[in-house]
Structure 1
Amino acid sequence: MVNVIGLGYIGLPTALMMASHGVEVIGTDYNKELVDTLNAGKTTFKEDGLDELFQNAVKAGIKFTTEYQNTDVYIVSVPTPYDKFSKKVDACYVVEAVKDVMKVCHKGATVVIESTVSPGTIDKFVRPVIEENGFTIGQDINLVHAPERIIPGNMVYELLHNNRTIGADDKAIGEKIKELYSSFCQGEIVVTDIRTAEMTKVVENTFRAVNIAFANELAKICRHDDMDVYEIIKICNMHPRVNILQPGPGVGGHCISVDPWFLVGDYPSLAKVIDESMKTNDGMPDFVLNRIYEIMKENKITDISKVGLYGLTYKENVDDMRESPTLQMLESMERHLCGDLVKVYDPFITKDIVPNQYHDLDKFINDVELVVLLVGHDEIKQNMDKLKGKVILDTRKICDLDGVYRL
Structure 2
Amino acid sequence: MVNVIGLGYIGLPTALMMAAHGVKVIGTDYNKELVSTLNAGRTTFKEEGLDELFEKAVELGITFSTEYQITDTYIVSVPTPYDEESKKIDAKYVESAVSTILEICPKGAVIVIESTVSPGTLDKYVRPLMIRKGFIIGQDIHLVHAPERIIPGNMVYELLNNNRTIGADDKEIGERIKKLYASFCNGDIVVTDIRTAEMTKVVENTFRDINIAYANELAKICRSDNMDVYEIIRIANKHPRVNILQPGPGVGGHCISVDPWFLVGDYPGLANIILAARKINDSMPEFVLERIYEIMKEKHMTDIGRVGFYGLTYKEDVDDMRESPTLQMLESMEKHLCGNLVKIYDPFITNDVVPNQLHNLDEFLNSVDLVVLMVGHSEIRQNMDKLEGKIVLDTRNICDMEGVYRL
TM-score interval for Structure 1 and Structure 2 normalised by the shorter chain: over 0.9
Report 1:183-262 matches (<5 A): 183-262=183-262
**Offset of residue 134 of structure 1:** 1.2
Q: Which residue of 2 aligns with 1:19?
A: 19
**Offset of residue 212 of structure 1:** 0.2
Q: Which residue of 1 aligns with 2:59?
A: 59
Secondary structure of 2:352's counterpart equals coil
Quote the Cα distance in structure 2 between the aligned partners of 1:49 and 1:133: 41
Report 1:43-192 matches (<5 A): 43-192=43-192
Secondary structure of 2:4's counterpart equals strand
Quote the Cα distance in structure 2 between the aligned partners of 1:157 and 1:170: 30
* 2:402 maps to amino acid: D
Q: Are 1:38 and 2:23 an aligned pair?
A: no
Quote the Cα distance in structure 1 between the aligned partners of 2:136 and 2:69: 20
Quote the Cα distance in structure 2 between the aligned partners of 1:348 and 1:234: 30
**Offset of residue 278 of structure 1:** 0.2
**Offset of residue 309 of structure 1:** 0.3
Quote the Cα distance in structure 1 between the aligned partners of 2:357 and 2:52: 31
Quote the Cα distance in structure 1 between the aligned partners of 2:125 and 2:31: 24
Q: Are 1:286 and 2:286 an aligned pair?
A: yes
* 2:110 maps to amino acid: T
Quote the Cα distance in structure 1 between the aligned partners of 2:174 and 2:236: 42
Quote the Cα distance in structure 2 between the aligned partners of 1:397 and 1:268: 35
Q: Deviation per CA, 1:205-238: give whole Å up to 9, x if none.
A: 0000000000000000000000000000011111
TM-score (norm 2): 1.00
RMSD (CA atoms): 0.4
Secondary structure of 1:112's counterpart equals strand
Quote the Cα distance in structure 2 between the aligned partners of 1:309 and 1:47: 23
Quote the Cα distance in structure 2 between the aligned partners of 1:246 and 1:122: 35
Quote the Cα distance in structure 2 between the aligned partners of 1:392 and 1:304: 14
Quote the Cα distance in structure 2 between the aligned partners of 1:210 and 1:357: 33
Quote the Cα distance in structure 2 between the aligned partners of 1:405 and 1:29: 45
* 1:11 maps to amino acid: G
Secondary structure of 1:244's counterpart equals coil
Q: Which residue of 1 aligns with 2:328?
A: 328
Q: Deviation per CA, 1:155-214: give whole Å up to 9, x if none.
A: 000000000000000011000000000000000000000000000000000000000000
Secondary structure of 1:118's counterpart equals coil
Q: Deviation per CA, 1:119-159: give whole Å up to 9, x if none.
A: 00000000011111111000110100000000000000000
Q: Which residue of 1 aligns with 2:392?
A: 392
Q: Which residue of 1 aligns with 2:364?
A: 364
Aligned residues: 407
* 2:404 maps to amino acid: V
Quote the Cα distance in structure 1 between the aligned partners of 2:327 and 2:296: 20
Q: Deviation per CA, 1:326-353: give whole Å up to 9, x if none.
A: 0000000001000000000000000000
Secondary structure of 2:46's counterpart equals coil
* 1:326 maps to amino acid: T
Quote the Cα distance in structure 2 between the aligned partners of 1:113 and 1:131: 17
Secondary structure of 1:247's counterpart equals coil
Secondary structure of 1:45's counterpart equals coil
* 2:322 maps to amino acid: R
Secondary structure of 1:393's counterpart equals strand
**Offset of residue 34 of structure 1:** 0.3
Quote the Cα distance in structure 2 between the aligned partners of 1:234 and 1:192: 38
* 2:299 maps to amino acid: N
Quote the Cα distance in structure 2 between the aligned partners of 1:176 and 1:299: 64
* Unaligned segments of structure 2, at least 5 residues: none
Secondary structure of 1:166's counterpart equals strand
TM-score (norm 1): 1.00
Q: Deviation per CA, 1:285-342: give whole Å up to 9, x if none.
A: 0000000000000011110000000000000000000000000000000010000000
Secondary structure of 1:283's counterpart equals helix
Secondary structure of 2:301's counterpart equals coil
Secondary structure of 2:372's counterpart equals strand
Quote the Cα distance in structure 2 between the aligned partners of 1:18 and 1:129: 28
* 1:198 maps to amino acid: E
* 1:159 maps to amino acid: L
Q: Which residue of 2 aligns with 1:265?
A: 265
Q: Which residue of 1 aligns with 2:297?
A: 297
Q: Deviation per CA, 1:61-116: give whole Å up to 9, x if none.
A: 00100000110100000000000100001000000000000011010100000000
Secondary structure of 1:401's counterpart equals coil
Q: Which residue of 1 aligns with 2:379?
A: 379
**Offset of residue 367 of structure 1:** 0.8
Quote the Cα distance in structure 2 between the aligned partners of 1:239 and 1:192: 35
